Structure 1
């Protein structure tokens, strides 16, 4: 499938206009992807809020991309019509590409502090994946700065989205009891034994002349019972 996730390099050096600055910390900066856990059903709201804050808080040079990996689902309705929707690959999570600097002491890449503050203080954000909570000095709890996703993890996630073929989905499964609504077997009842979503067809065992006989039917010819 065609995908918007065509440029997901884990460690892109920042653009030339930034790398020519006299600020040594910016010269050594790179872009890394981080996974952020958010409240259920709030993925798009979090993305929209952070995108607005890029400009209002002037952090567009620190937070680069916010993505919600999705895959196409083709839902086949009872009337046989098809509806294509996007389903989240990781419900409850948002991927964010953020600037990071290399620590002169440990050599580890650490998320930009200002970007970190903006993201973790966004409504409906729960925490960064890999950022364990710890007791801070005094009252309350603090947050350990998160580790970025590895290059292998990023590659696996985005390739899965790029290569995923549309999934056909019908609200019928093997073992379901059905009643035939039209055609030569109208009013017959039976049990689904096979579903072919991509063809909008199913096979069911119908009792014909006292014997259970497999019959192929269109999805829009039946209704699920019970």
Structure 2
């Protein structure tokens, strides 16, 4: 080394070194974020966009089963199974007590109305609306209005009830004839009806005064 010669000492550039060292991790983070975003977008696009809902159609009372059959045939013939899924007539079982006899009957919950689960568009609307026997959709103006989820749930729950409802032919204040028991052939007036216990309290004129008598539904008949 000769005198007068300046020696440049190496200078550590910590900032630049750190920046260069950190650069790959930053790029990796960006790549990871981009990958996650792409994955999320792919997952979102892969989720089914099913707009199915329950709608109510109207038909003439007493023709519900015929209209249901006609609509199901049209769905199959016109290959609309991917847009129209279920056709349901809301019914429930009832125990009918009449003339001292008990029988189980299937009663329509909403006579003249049918539920249809479908994806509403021009094609599916045309198939349903032009089914023989269908008089129209239920809704505001010409626009069908879907049922709310809680409304559908209430209807289905009513249809699936385990215990049949009891229906009697008489009402409070009406005259009935007792057809069984100690007061057989007596005429009385219905005072109270207990649907849970299937009992009826009848006021019977006995020795000049009204006497309350509790009877089973099967022990009385409407006059």
TM-score by shorter chain over 0.5: yes
**Which one of the candidate residues 87, 104, 109 is aligned to 1:89?**
109
SS at match of 2:96: strand
Please give the residue correspondences for 1:1-226 in structure 2 after superposition, counting only pairs within 5 Å: 28-80=49-101, 82-99=102-119, 111-130=120-139, 132=141, 144-163=142-161, 165-197=163-195, 199-225=197-223
What is the count of residue pairs matched by the alignment? 177
Distance 2:155 2:132 in 1: 25
Question: Deviation string for 1:11-62 (max 9, x for gaps)?
Answer: xxxxxxxxxxxxx9xx644312111111222211111111111221221222
CA shift for structure 1 position 168: 0.6
Larger-Rg structure: 2
TM-score normalised by length of structure 1: 0.68
TM-score scaled by structure 2? 0.69
* Alpha-carbon spacing, 1:123–1:188, altered in 2? closer, same or farther (3 Å): same
Q: Which has the higher helix share?
A: 2
Cα distance 1:61–1:217, how it changes in 2: closer, same or farther (>3 A)?
same
Structure 1: gaps of 5 or more residues: 1-23, 100-110, 133-143
What RMSD in Å do the two structures reach over aligned CA positions?
2.5
The runs of 5 or more residues in structure 2 that have no matched partner are 1-44
CA contact (8 A) 2:56 2:114 kept: yes
